[in-house]
């Protein structure tokens, strides 16, 4: 790192710090802290959705996937269409019900028990998956780019991990959602510009897009978007089943993402903000996954040397180090600092969103239920303490991460999402479209789906080929493809919910008012119709056209 790179990074931190202070000065109550006073504009909402999604693990991990599995994971990154579902279907329910959290909406539709179950599952997942993997990926970047700055690569890893968590935690605690959302726009710009730069420079040094396609064609089986049913990792049918289930859970029902739309000043703005986030979500395949493929192609041509690692006795590319290696070897002075700032922006924006979402889940869904009637000032203080607690738990988990990740934690965490999502997706969709679904069915589906998912994950961790292979039936369950398992979990959750609901009394009609698809249009049909204006329709059409074009191109690009 040159002194000019450090100046660029310092300028970035200075800008973000000033914005966080400026917009976080006035935190009067919990609505200010968690929802930015419900006065955010659509550009800020969309940028915040994008930067919440794109963490350092996203940039680092996608580049690694591009180098090792080509376009296989692109299905999970072409989920911009899910934000049309969020804006078109879910936002009116969330916004008109006046909730601060998604579990709170479940209480309105079902009961308090459903709210508690979803809140607890979400908090456990946030602390032990999203915080840990985001911080770990950021620390990997520090280790690769600054190996000798702090005495050793290991020191660089820990200093990078601790400093980013602490700095992000401080500005989240004091700035709240206002600071997070208003710093999202410059962070989104930095992430997009920085990633476009490294993609452009990488293609230029490789010899252009045609050269990348030529090399990928020579290894088409490992780089194709659609894989045959015989593929052990990414069969096309499994992708078609699992990807939408996970995508609809993440983009339409997860507090981490949806909280941004709840901060809008009106329903039309909330919907447009979600759509703008979808427009930004179109780009990750091109600017995060493609650079990994560029790195692989340059490695094949001998233009660069990527770090290697041993997997089952075979030397293979270390995917987690592809992106930082490209930054270190390809970029000129100053630009390198911009890209590091880009990675820091991704890391900090995701962590900040995660810290605030976790605090809102604890304060609104758990603490307020235990101690009702507290003042807004008191809830604001509790929210800040909860944020600091999440920061502390994230720090405590880092040493464990460093050990567990040696066994392939990134893929493991993707499996976790696939096992947590199905029951939640089933409950929300059936709950919105079928008024006969009651609280008993929802709670049984949430608990049953969660338990089944964790059983599969536990068996998969310990049993299977190369692990414990006896008894054989447990090894078969462990080796069963997680994509198909996601579909079975969704089906099992739906069956549990329907059976439990039909065996118990239906919910009273007055409880469903405005909380099912038919009833909300009776209550606020005119407002909902007006909020889906020409601008939102144009954005929806643009997103669908972009996603369809990418699917068509990458379905045939290696033929």
Q: What is the pLDDT of residues 396-419, one digit of tens each?
A: 766 665 555 554 455 666 777 888
- Distance, CA of 176 to CA of 180 (rounded, Å): 6
Most distant CA atoms of the chain, gap in Å: 69
- Report pLDDT for 408: 47
Backbone torsion region of residue 176, taken as left when φ is above 0, otherwise alpha when ψ lies between -120 and 50, otherwise beta: left
Residue 300: CB atoms within 10 A of its CB come to: 15
Strand partners, 314: 311
Is 109 found in the same domain as 96? yes
**Helix (H) / strand (E) containing 160:** helix 153-206
pLDDT for residue 274 is more than 90? yes
Is 129 found in the same domain as 105? yes
Last residue of a domain, one of 507, 525, 543: 507
Is 360 found in the same domain as 470? no
Mean pLDDT of 299-308: 88
Report for 150-164, 279-293, 342-356, 481-495: range of highest mean pLDDT: 481-495
Q: Model pTM?
A: 0.87
- Distance, CA of 187 to CA of 221 (rounded, Å): 36
Q: Is residue 84 part of a domain?
A: yes
- Report pLDDT for 277: 93
Rounded mean pLDDT of the chain?
Answer: 83
Least confident of 115-124, 131-140, 512-521: 131-140
Is 120 found in the same domain as 22? yes
Is 102 found in the same domain as 146? yes
Helix axis angle, 439-462 relative to 112-125, nearest 10°? 20
Place of tokens 């329907």: 498
- Report pLDDT for 409: 52
Number of domains present in the structure of the chain: 2
The answer to whether 34 and 115 have CB atoms below 8 angstroms apart is no
- Report pLDDT for 488: 97
- Report pLDDT for 541: 96
- Report pLDDT for 196: 87
Report for 5-19, 163-177, 244-258, 365-379: range of highest mean pLDDT: 244-258
Is 367 found in the same domain as 242? yes
**Helix (H) / strand (E) containing 309:** strand 308-311
Higher pLDDT, 492 or 288: 492
- Report pLDDT for 407: 43
- Report pLDDT for 151: 79
The answer to whether 97 and 514 have CB atoms below 8 angstroms apart is yes
Mean pLDDT of 244-258: 91
Q: Is residue 514 part of a domain?
A: no
Q: How far is CA 434 from CA 325, 405, 442, 491, 540, in A?
A: 51, 42, 12, 16, 26
Place of tokens 């279907």: 89
- Report pLDDT for 411: 62
Q: Is residue 310 part of a domain?
A: no
pLDDT for residue 521 is more than 80? no
Residue 74: CB atoms within 10 A of its CB come to: 23
Q: Is residue 23 part of a domain?
A: yes
Percent of the chain as helix, strand, coil, to the nearest 5:
80, 5, 20
Backbone angles phi and psi of 358, in degrees to 5? -65, -45
Q: Does residue 224 have a cis peptide bond before it, meaning omega lies within 30 degrees of 0?
A: no
Q: Is residue 321 part of a domain?
A: no
Q: Is residue 298 part of a domain?
A: no
Mean pLDDT of 315-341: 81
- Report pLDDT for 44: 85
Is 150 found in the same domain as 177? yes
Least confident of 138-142, 344-348, 466-470, 545-549: 344-348
pLDDT for residue 140 is more than 90? no
Q: Is residue 519 part of a domain?
A: no
pLDDT for residue 261 is more than 90? no
Last residue of a domain, one of 488, 507, 526: 507
Residue 124 structural domain: 3-293+333-407+535-556
Structure tokens at 429: 């969709």
Is 427 found in the same domain as 344? no
Structure tokens at 84: 């049309």
Is 156 found in the same domain as 94? yes
Is 92 found in the same domain as 218? yes
Domain CATH for 339: 1.20.1730.10
What SS3 state is found at 483? helix
pLDDT band at 493 (very low <50, low <70, confident <90, very high): very high
Mean pLDDT of 351-375: 78
Is 464 found in the same domain as 385? no
Place of tokens 């995917």: 319
Is 253 found in the same domain as 363? yes
Least confident of 19-33, 144-158, 314-328: 19-33
- Distance, CA of 293 to CA of 152 (rounded, Å): 29
Higher pLDDT, 83 or 353: 83
The answer to whether 333 and 42 have CB atoms below 8 angstroms apart is no
Q: Is residue 312 part of a domain?
A: no
């Amino acid at each position: 790192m040159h002194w000019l790179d450090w100046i660029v990074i310092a300028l970035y931190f200075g800008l973000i710090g000033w914005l966080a202070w400026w917009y976080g000065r006035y935190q009067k109550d919990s609505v200010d802290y968690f929802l930015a006073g419900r006065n955010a504009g659509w550009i800020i909402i969309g940028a915040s959705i994008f930067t919440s999604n794109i963490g350092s693990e996203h940039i680092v991990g996608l580049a690694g996937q591009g180098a090792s599995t080509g376009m296989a994971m692109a299905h999970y990154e072409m989920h911009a269409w899910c934000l049309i579902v969020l804006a078109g279907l879910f936002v009116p329910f969330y916004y008109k019900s006046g909730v601060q959290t998604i579990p709170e909406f479940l209480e309105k539709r079902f009961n308090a028990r459903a709210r508690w179950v979803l809140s607890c599952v979400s908090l456990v997942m946030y602390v032990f998956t999203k915080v840990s993997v985001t911080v770990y990926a950021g620390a990997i970047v520090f280790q690769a780019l600054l190996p000798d700055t702090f005495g050793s690569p290991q020191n660089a890893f820990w200093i990078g991990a601790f400093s980013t968590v602490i700095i992000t935690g401080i500005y989240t605690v004091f700035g709240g959602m206002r600071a997070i959302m208003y710093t999202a726009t410059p962070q989104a710009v930095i992430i997009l510009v920085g990633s476009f730069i490294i993609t452009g420079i990488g293609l230029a040094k490789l010899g252009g897009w045609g050269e990348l396609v030529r090399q990928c064609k020579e290894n088409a089986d490992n780089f194709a978007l659609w894989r045959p049913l015989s593929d052990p990792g990414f069969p096309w049918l499994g992708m078609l089943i699992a990807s939408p289930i996970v995508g609809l859970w993440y983009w339409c029902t997860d507090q981490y993402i949806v909280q941004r739309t709840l901060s809008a000043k009106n329903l039309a703005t909330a919907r447009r903000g979600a759509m703008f986030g979808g427009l930004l979500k179109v780009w990750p395949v091109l600017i995060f996954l493609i650079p990994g493929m560029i790195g692989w192609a340059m490695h094949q041509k001998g233009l660069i040397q990527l770090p290697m690692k041993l997997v089952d006795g075979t030397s293979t590319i270390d995917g987690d180090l592809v992106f930082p290696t490209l930054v270190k070897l390809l970029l000129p002075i100053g630009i390198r600092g911009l890209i590091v700032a880009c990675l820091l922006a991704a890391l900090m924006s995701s962590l900040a969103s995660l810290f605030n979402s976790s605090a809102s889940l604890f304060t609104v869904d758990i603490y307020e239920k235990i101690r009702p009637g507290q003042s807004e000032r008191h809830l604001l203080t509790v929210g800040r303490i909860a944020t600091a607690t999440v920061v502390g738990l994230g720090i405590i988990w880092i040493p464990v991460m460093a050990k567990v990740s040696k066994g392939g934690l990134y893929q493991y965490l993707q499996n976790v999402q696939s096992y947590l999502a199905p029951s939640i997706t089933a409950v929300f969709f059936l709950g919105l479209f079928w008024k006969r679904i009651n609280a008993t069915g929802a709670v049984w589906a949430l608990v049953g789906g969660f338990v089944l998912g964790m059983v599969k994950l536990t068996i998969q961790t310990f049993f299977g080929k190369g692990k414990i292979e006896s008894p054989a039936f447990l090894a078969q369950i462990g080796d069963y493809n997680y994509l198909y398992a996601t579909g079975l979990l969704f089906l099992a959750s739906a069956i549990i919910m329907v059976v439990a609901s039909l065996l118990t009394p239906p919910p009273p009609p007055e409880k469903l008012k405005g909380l099912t698809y038919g009833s909300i249009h009776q209550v606020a049909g005119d407002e909902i119709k007006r909020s889906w204006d020409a601008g939102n329709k144009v954005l929806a059409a643009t997103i669908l056209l972009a996603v369809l074009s990418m699917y068509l191109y990458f379905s045939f690009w290696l033929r």
